[in-house]
Amino acid sequence: MYQSLSKVYQLHTPSLDRYENQETQEYILRQLGNMAINSGQFKDLISGQVVSEVTYTADEYLTLLTTYSPYIKLALHNKEPLFSGLRHCIEDDFGGSLQLSYISAFHIAQKFISEVKDF
Protein backbone atom coordinates (compact mmCIF):
# COMPACT_ATOMS: atom_id res chain seq x y z
CA MET A 1 0.00 0.00 0.00
CA TYR A 2 2.76 2.42 0.95
CA GLN A 3 4.56 1.94 -2.36
CA SER A 4 1.45 2.81 -4.38
CA LEU A 5 0.64 5.88 -2.30
CA SER A 6 4.31 6.91 -2.27
CA LYS A 7 4.26 7.33 -6.04
CA VAL A 8 1.48 9.92 -5.66
CA TYR A 9 3.34 11.73 -2.88
CA GLN A 10 6.60 11.73 -4.84
CA LEU A 11 4.81 13.28 -7.81
CA HIS A 12 2.99 16.05 -5.89
CA THR A 13 4.48 16.55 -2.40
CA PRO A 14 7.65 14.54 -1.78
CA SER A 15 8.16 16.22 1.59
CA LEU A 16 5.06 14.42 2.92
CA ASP A 17 6.19 10.98 1.76
CA ARG A 18 6.97 9.32 5.07
CA TYR A 19 6.52 5.79 6.30
CA GLU A 20 7.14 4.29 9.72
CA ASN A 21 6.60 0.60 10.23
CA GLN A 22 5.38 -0.74 13.57
CA GLU A 23 8.90 -1.56 14.72
CA THR A 24 10.03 2.04 14.11
CA GLN A 25 6.99 3.45 15.91
CA GLU A 26 7.60 1.18 18.90
CA TYR A 27 11.25 2.31 18.99
CA ILE A 28 10.18 5.97 19.01
CA LEU A 29 7.75 5.29 21.86
CA ARG A 30 10.49 3.55 23.91
CA GLN A 31 12.78 6.52 23.32
CA LEU A 32 10.12 8.91 24.64
CA GLY A 33 9.78 6.85 27.81
CA ASN A 34 13.56 6.76 28.19
CA MET A 35 13.72 10.53 27.83
CA ALA A 36 11.34 10.94 30.76
CA ILE A 37 13.38 8.60 32.98
CA ASN A 38 16.74 10.01 31.83
CA SER A 39 15.57 13.53 32.70
CA GLY A 40 15.95 12.61 36.36
CA GLN A 41 12.47 13.98 37.04
CA PHE A 42 10.57 10.67 36.90
CA LYS A 43 10.83 7.06 38.05
CA ASP A 44 8.91 3.78 37.85
CA LEU A 45 7.95 4.07 34.19
CA ILE A 46 5.01 1.95 33.05
CA SER A 47 4.33 1.78 29.32
CA GLY A 48 1.66 0.13 27.25
CA GLN A 49 0.14 0.13 23.83
CA VAL A 50 -2.76 -1.16 21.81
CA VAL A 51 -2.57 -1.76 18.06
CA SER A 52 -5.84 -1.22 16.22
CA GLU A 53 -6.85 -1.64 12.61
CA VAL A 54 -9.09 0.95 10.96
CA THR A 55 -10.61 0.84 7.48
CA TYR A 56 -11.20 4.14 5.67
CA THR A 57 -13.02 4.82 2.44
CA ALA A 58 -11.21 7.20 0.10
CA ASP A 59 -13.41 10.07 1.32
CA GLU A 60 -12.83 9.23 4.98
CA TYR A 61 -9.08 8.97 4.49
CA LEU A 62 -8.83 12.28 2.66
CA THR A 63 -10.99 13.93 5.33
CA LEU A 64 -8.63 12.54 7.98
CA LEU A 65 -5.61 13.99 6.17
CA THR A 66 -7.19 17.46 6.24
CA THR A 67 -6.92 17.39 10.04
CA TYR A 68 -3.12 16.96 10.05
CA SER A 69 -0.95 20.09 10.19
CA PRO A 70 1.25 19.31 7.15
CA TYR A 71 -1.87 18.97 4.98
CA ILE A 72 -3.54 22.04 6.46
CA LYS A 73 -0.46 24.07 5.52
CA LEU A 74 -0.40 22.81 1.92
CA ALA A 75 -1.11 25.39 -0.74
CA LEU A 76 -4.29 24.64 -2.68
CA HIS A 77 -2.32 24.17 -5.92
CA ASN A 78 -0.45 21.32 -4.18
CA LYS A 79 -3.31 19.87 -2.15
CA GLU A 80 -5.81 19.43 -4.99
CA PRO A 81 -3.60 17.29 -7.25
CA LEU A 82 -2.27 15.32 -4.26
CA PHE A 83 -5.76 14.50 -2.99
CA SER A 84 -6.99 13.71 -6.48
CA GLY A 85 -4.06 11.36 -7.03
CA LEU A 86 -4.56 9.70 -3.64
CA ARG A 87 -8.29 9.23 -4.35
CA HIS A 88 -7.57 7.59 -7.72
CA CYS A 89 -4.90 5.36 -6.18
CA ILE A 90 -7.20 4.24 -3.34
CA GLU A 91 -10.09 3.59 -5.70
CA ASP A 92 -8.07 1.91 -8.47
CA ASP A 93 -5.47 -0.03 -6.48
CA PHE A 94 -7.32 -0.84 -3.26
CA GLY A 95 -10.98 -1.15 -4.20
CA GLY A 96 -11.96 2.17 -2.62
CA SER A 97 -10.72 1.64 0.93
CA LEU A 98 -7.55 1.43 2.99
CA GLN A 99 -6.90 -0.59 6.12
CA LEU A 100 -4.42 1.17 8.39
CA SER A 101 -2.84 0.22 11.70
CA TYR A 102 -2.52 2.63 14.61
CA ILE A 103 -0.63 2.36 17.86
CA SER A 104 -2.30 3.97 20.86
CA ALA A 105 0.33 4.22 23.56
CA PHE A 106 0.89 5.58 27.03
CA HIS A 107 3.70 6.25 29.47
CA ILE A 108 3.00 6.69 33.18
CA ALA A 109 5.79 7.60 35.57
CA GLN A 110 6.02 8.87 39.10
CA LYS A 111 7.49 12.34 39.45
CA PHE A 112 10.34 12.68 41.90
CA ILE A 113 9.42 15.06 44.71
CA SER A 114 12.26 17.30 45.66
CA GLU A 115 12.88 17.74 49.35
CA VAL A 116 12.47 21.24 50.68
CA LYS A 117 14.89 22.14 53.46
CA ASP A 118 13.93 24.60 56.13
CA PHE A 119 16.58 27.15 57.04
51/17 Cα distance (integer angstroms): 22
Phi and psi at residue 95, to the nearest 5°: 65, 20
Residue range 71-91, pLDDT digits in tens: 999 999 999 999 999 999 999
Query: What pLDDT was estimated at residue 57?
Result: 97
Domain interval for residue 54:
2-111
> What does pTM read for this prediction?
0.73
Residue range 26-58, pLDDT digits in tens: 899 999 999 999 999 999 999 999 999 999 999
**1 pLDDT more than 90:** no
Number of folded domains in the chain? 1
Query: What pLDDT was estimated at residue 63?
Result: 97
